[in-house]
């Protein structure tokens, strides 16, 4: 049986080349990853992989699909040792999520890492984007189990709940989000990507691709 990838590659901007690094301990798909300090964290994901033959008209096609085995495991990569290390598991199994380095709430060197429960989102979702802007955390779009959604929620450190804010102009899923500076410059190169500032959304003009 095939398995999902465990590999890690990095891109050297000076040499314009990709480099291969030590593989993760657990093969994962639909995994959340983020960099914090000098480490990379890989959290959750699917760990089993299934293939089956399906008839499409007069042909047989080999179909790959994610299994039902989500994982609560997480691991951390150190560039100094080129090694992945398993860290504390989450309290629940998760996949199709996102991760970002948000804010260091507490640092206790020498003590084992632990997970802390945070307020629930108002709308359950998967395959969403997450980004930090102005000290707040934003969760954007996704899939609610039935359909794509345009909902956006904001969390402020210290609050006891998430707040719904202006939704996207259209539902989206399987996307990424980031906070950028120099918005005027970004608009020039953006290809119909919704942009949000603290006053609301804007739709930049389409980019002509030669």
Please state the rounded mean pLDDT for residues 205-209: 45
pTM of the model: 0.70
For position 139, what pLDDT does the model report? 93
Q: Lowest-pLDDT range, 64-68, 81-85, 94-98?
A: 64-68
* pLDDT over 90 percentage in the chain: 36
20 burial type by CB count under 10 A (0-12 exposed, 13-18 middle, 19+ buried): exposed
Contact 160, 129 (CB under 8 A): no
- Quote the CA–CA distance of 62 and 168 in Å, as a whole number: 36
Instruction: Write down the domain spans for the chain.
Output: 1-102, 118-210
Contact 55, 122 (CB under 8 A): no
For position 196, what pLDDT does the model report? 63
Contact 115, 90 (CB under 8 A): yes
Higher pLDDT, 41 or 184: 41
Q: Per residue in 100-136, pLDDT tens? A: 877 655 555 566 677 888 899 999 998 899 988 888 9
Q: How confident is the model at residue 58 (pLDDT cuts 50, 70, 90)?
A: low
Please state the rounded mean pLDDT for residues 169-176: 88
pLDDT at residue 67 tops 60: no
Higher pLDDT, 198 or 48: 48
For position 109, what pLDDT does the model report? 59
């Amino acid at each position: 049986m095939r398995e999902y990838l465990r590999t890690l590659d990095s891109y050297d901007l000076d040499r314009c080349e990709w480099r291969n690094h030590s593989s993760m301990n657990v093969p994962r798909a639909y995994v959340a990853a983020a960099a914090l300090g000098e480490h990379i964290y890989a959290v959750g994901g699917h760990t089993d992989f299934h293939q089956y033959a399906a008839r499409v008209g007069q042909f047989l096609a080999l179909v790959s699909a994610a299994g039902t085995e989500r994982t609560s495991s997480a691991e951390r990569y150190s560039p100094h040792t080129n090694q992945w290390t398993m860290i504390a598991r989450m309290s629940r199994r998760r996949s199709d999520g996102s991760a970002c380095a948000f804010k260091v709430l507490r640092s206790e060197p020498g003590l084992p890492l632990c997970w802390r429960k945070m307020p629930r989102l108002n709308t359950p979702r998967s395959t969403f984007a997450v980004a930090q802007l102005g000290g707040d955390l934003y969760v954007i779009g996704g899939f609610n189990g039935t359909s794509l959604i345009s909902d956006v929620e904001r969390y402020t450190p210290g609050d006891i709940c998430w707040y719904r804010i202006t939704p996207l102009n259209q539902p989206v899923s399987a996307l990424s989000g980031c906070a950028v500076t120099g918005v005027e410059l970004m608009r020039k190169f953006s290809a119909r990507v919704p942009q949000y500032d603290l006053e609301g959304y804007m739709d930049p003009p389409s980019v002509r691709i030669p």
